[in-house]
């Protein structure tokens, strides 16, 4: 059974940092592209970042580029999101998600349950 379990959420100060982690199990982690998607309370889904299955290629939403860094440790089946210079608008549930396997199949087949990040002064 595919499982994605996020951790590391909590309360962070405006301008501060937080590191999210996602532990994957039930599948061969190193053959999948992975992403982070967030959802502010009562709002819609927003794509945040994407990382290649081996890690060298990443892409980011304009709203987080330069502040957030996505990374992965394939030996530990773990995905990370380093969030710096946090803003109030970064407050959200952050989901770790798996991209479909297969060329051109650019969608999500599995979602974690999410971890809540709250940014406050």
Partner 1 sequence: SYELTQPPSVSVSPGQTARITCSADALPHQSIYWYQQKAGQAPVVMIYKDTERPSGIPERFSGSNSGTTVTLTISGVQAEDEADYYCQSSFNSGIYWVFGGGTKLTVL
The answer to whether 108 contacts partner 1 (rule: CB under 8 A) is yes
* Contact between residue 18 and residue 11 where contact means Cβ atoms under 8 Å apart: no
Which CB, 83 or 99, lies closer to partner 1? 99
**Given candidates 22, 94, 114, 115, which one binds partner 1 under the rule CB under 8 A?**
114
CA angle at residue 120 from 116 to 121, to 5 degrees? Answer: 165
Which CB, 39 or 71, lies closer to partner 1? 39
Q: Supply the minimum distance, in Å, between the C-beta of residue 13 and partner 1.
A: 27
Sequence-ordered list of residues with C-beta below 8 angstroms from that of 114, at least 6 positions apart, any chain: 6, 39, 93, 94, 95
- Euclidean distance between CA atoms 109 and 77, whole angstroms: 17
Which CB, 54 or 109, lies closer to partner 1? 109
Which CB, 29 or 114, lies closer to partner 1? 114
Residue 19 CB: number of other CB atoms within 10 A? 13
The answer to whether 98 contacts partner 1 (rule: CB under 8 A) is no
**Per rule CB under 8 A, count of chain residues that contact partner 1:** 22
Residues listed for the chain: 121
The answer to whether 50 contacts partner 1 (rule: CB under 8 A) is yes
Interacting residues toward partner 1 by CB under 8 A: 35, 37, 44-47, 50, 59, 61-62, 95, 100, 104-109, 111-114
């Amino acid at each position: 059974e595919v499982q994605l379990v996020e951790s590391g959420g909590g309360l962070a100060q405006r301008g501060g940092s937080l590191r999210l982690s996602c532990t994957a199990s039930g599948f061969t982690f190193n053959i999948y592209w992975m992403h982070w998607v967030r959802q502010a309370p009562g709002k819609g889904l927003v794509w945040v970042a994407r990382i290649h299955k081996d890690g060298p290629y990443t892409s980011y939403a304009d709203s987080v580029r330069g502040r957030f860094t996505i990374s992965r440790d394939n030996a530990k089946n773990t995905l990370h999101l380093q969030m710096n210079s946090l803003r109030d608008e970064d407050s959200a549930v952050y989901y770790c998600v798996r991209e479909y396997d297969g060329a051109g199949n650019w969608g999500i087949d599995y979602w974690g349950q999410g971890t809540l990040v709250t940014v406050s002064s």
